[in-house]
A and B are shown apart, each in its own frame.
Chain A
Amino acid sequence: MGKIAALIKKTLGLNGGQIKGESKVKKIEINPMTRLEGHGKIAIFLDENGNVDDAFFQTVEFRGYEKFLQGMPIEEVPRTVSTVCGVCRAVHFLCSMKASDDVYGVAPPSTGRKLRELFYSAHTVEDHTAVLYALGFPDFVVGPDASPAERNLVGLIKAVGAETGKLVLQKRGLAVKIFELLGGKPNHPVAALPGGWSKRINEEERAQIEKWAEELVELGKLTLQVFDDVVLKNPKYMELVTGEMYRVEVGCMATVDEQNRFALYDGTQKAIDAKGNVVGTFRGKEYLDFISERVLPWSYLKFPYNKKLGGWDGIKSGPDTNIYCVGPLARMNVVDSMSTPLAQEHFEKFHDTFGARPVHYIQAYHWARAIEVLAAAEKCLELSRDPEITGSDTWNQPSSCTGEGVGILEANRGTLVHHYITDDQGIVQNANLIVSTTHNNAPINLAVKTAARHFIQDGNVSEALLNHVEMAFRPYDLCLACATHTVTGGQQPVEVNIYKNSGELYKQMKNF
């Protein structure tokens, strides 16, 4: 144990290279073994007094997609990357498609662009809804201290009632129908073209989408009502939402439209520091002027930071950090307003509740995600009523190849960057992908450490520790995905082992 602690601490340059109390360090390891996450694990080190010395979120799985894509025609990349992850299929699809526009130097016509945005808005509704109801809400509806046997989707349905559960899933299913209708294929879309979108819609399909979108707006309202009833009206839960144990003070990055409003499909990237000051805006390849990625040997996941605010300074929170986060909470902090009326009402309530901006309370990610369900649903409805949406001009045929393209998408989990270098025939020579969970890597580490420090005191490791620490990374909706899809039955997903420095097991805890 001491050697592992020493390696990690030395790597990070902690304690000036000296391992304080190394021989007395105890290690707690939380090792979730669920199917879509990949192999992420949490290691917590206690000092000689039993308090948290440090904590780390590690990704020990190597993916190497960038290598895999080399040699592939750029127009094939969207269909390929959408299969890499079962969860984030649409966002990798769209982001690489936007990069392919850039590679061929061609932008889609207005109808093609709107079809893309409609498709993505529908995906946002279905993905955010799944995340909220299956993973986020159970902590609050069933309770953070409840047994994992109850604190899950099945427990949630028991708590809110089968009729509500049925209503939510039925309405979410309508978003899937829009996704499939526009994507050209169930689950993994095929409609992307450099410079356009291959699936047009007729008036009958438009009218159907409009009806479905009306239902999605109702889903958005219902979701925010659930959050209001369950969380906002419960002082105990609001203590968690506004508690220091779940506060991570870092900068933010997100997409804004030309009026500095909320935008998912396209816009300008805007970065703010932890105090809320605007650091700058950028588009496309300019991301290289803002984002640098630090490699640390104990994780396959890189650690991006905003280099406009200085060089690598470690994984630190606070007003002067150059660490930043992405995703729903970052978006609520970066945008001046929402782009749709109902979501705007909730955006104002959100900021009125917290007061100071930016909001650094990470449980607010769930609230922000719920607001985005409504915003995306409203966008679906707006686009379904757009006269251009049934237009026949959906593709600008490319005629030349620029050899380089960057796609940036405000993915459900946060900013997603795809950068490709190709030869003059559009064959990928080099690829760089910065996914949302990578942007959030350092904030997740900070969140885990902050929560662990709060919930572990003087060697007292409560039974609720596991879930409270998991609650620190769950708001980010980790997607290390791309992992295997094999069923792993009968194994506990989360286990805490506390060892003495001799290696002897001091205490073992499981969350079941």
Chain B
Amino acid sequence: MNDVRTIVLGIGNPLLQDDRAGLEVVQRISRMDLPVDTQELYTVGFEVMDRLMGYNRAYIVDACSLGNKPGTVMEVRIEDIFSSKNLASSHAITLGATLKTAYQLFPDEMPGELRIFLIEVERIDEFTDIMSPCVDKAVQETVDIIASAISSKGYKSGRNMSCCRHIL
């Protein structure tokens, strides 16, 4: 009996090509027989906080455009994606800011274990639900990483990884 509540949260826009990468990971995970909840989100505001609270372990997957080789999978810490200067602009609350606020205000309700994966996009300028081949491949690789982590007994992860790193 696994009493650790786990969620895999995918973020993206399902209609904008490679931006759907995080959602695609979640859809593939949900088709596997894993003891996890899955959730898709199309925004990174307070809704991220709403979704994560109450879980012990969480995996977040989002697309990114950081100038890396398209299809690169990265694992990052909250601090890596918390850019307070971005908060100065209108209308946007960044993923990092949401997570930082959530852990500051609700440390007991937020997951004790959190891993954040980013997938570098190639194209996000077409209305299509078909991803670029390299991103599609990266999605499957991310699915494998998360599925392996969930399945592996005794797997433990710190709340924040020690560094931002390319893992594929």
B4 within 8 A of A: no
> Most chain-A Cβ atoms within 10 A of its Cβ — which of B49, B86, B93?
B86
With A470-B88, A494-B89 already in contact, the answer to whether A485 and B13 are too (CB < 8 A) is yes
**Contact of A166 with B105 in the complex, beta carbons under 8 Å:** yes
CA distance A467 to B62 in the complex (A): 29
Q: Contact flags (1/0) for B63-75 with A, using CB distance below 8 Å?
A: 1111000000000
Q: How large is the interface on B (under 10, 10 to 19, 20 to 34, 35 or more residues)?
A: 35 or more
**Contact of A486 with B90 in the complex, beta carbons under 8 Å:** no
**Contact of B90 with A489 in the complex, beta carbons under 8 Å:** no
CA distance A154 to B39 in the complex (A): 26
For B51, list chain A residues within 8 Å (CB).
186
A36 within 8 A of B: yes
Number of residues in A with C-beta < 8 Å to the partner? 59
CA distance A162 to B97 in the complex (A): 15
> Given A84, A126, A152, A165, which contacts B87 in the complex, CB threshold below 8 Å?
A152
Which residues in chain B, 20-66, are within 8 Å of chain A measured between CB atoms? 22, 39-47, 49-51, 62-66
Which residue in chain A gives the minimum CB-CB distance to B66?
A489
**Contact of B88 with A484 in the complex, beta carbons under 8 Å:** no
For A151, list chain B residues within 8 Å (CB).
87-88
With A68-B127, A162-B104, A487-B63 already in contact, the answer to whether A148 and B87 are too (CB < 8 A) is yes
**Contact of B87 with A153 in the complex, beta carbons under 8 Å:** yes
CA distance A162 to B101 in the complex (A): 10
With A188-B42, A484-B124, A486-B63 already in contact, the answer to whether A37 and B89 are too (CB < 8 A) is yes
CA distance A37 to B89 in the complex (A): 9
For A511, list chain B residues within 8 Å (CB).
85, 88
For A87, list chain B residues within 8 Å (CB).
43, 45, 91
Which residues in chain B, 78-130, are within 8 Å of chain A measured between CB atoms? 80-81, 83-95, 97, 100-101, 104-106, 118, 121, 124, 127
- In the assembled complex, how far is the CB of residue A101 from the closest CB belonging to chain B, in whole angstroms? 25
A-B contacts besides A130-B45, A187-B47, 5 pairs, CB < 8 Å: A126-B46, A134-B87, A162-B105, A486-B124, A490-B66
By a beta-carbon cutoff of 8 Å, the part of chain B in contact with chain A is 11-16, 19, 22, 39-47, 49-51, 62-66, 80-81, 83-95, 97, 100-101, 104-106, 118, 121, 124, 127
Q: List 8 A-B contacts (CB under 8 A).
A: A134-B87, A148-B88, A187-B47, A481-B91, A485-B43, A489-B64, A493-B85, A493-B89
Report the 9 A-B pairs with minimum CB-CB distance, sorted nearest first: A86-B43, A152-B87, A148-B88, A86-B42, A512-B85, A34-B92, A487-B64, A486-B65, A484-B124
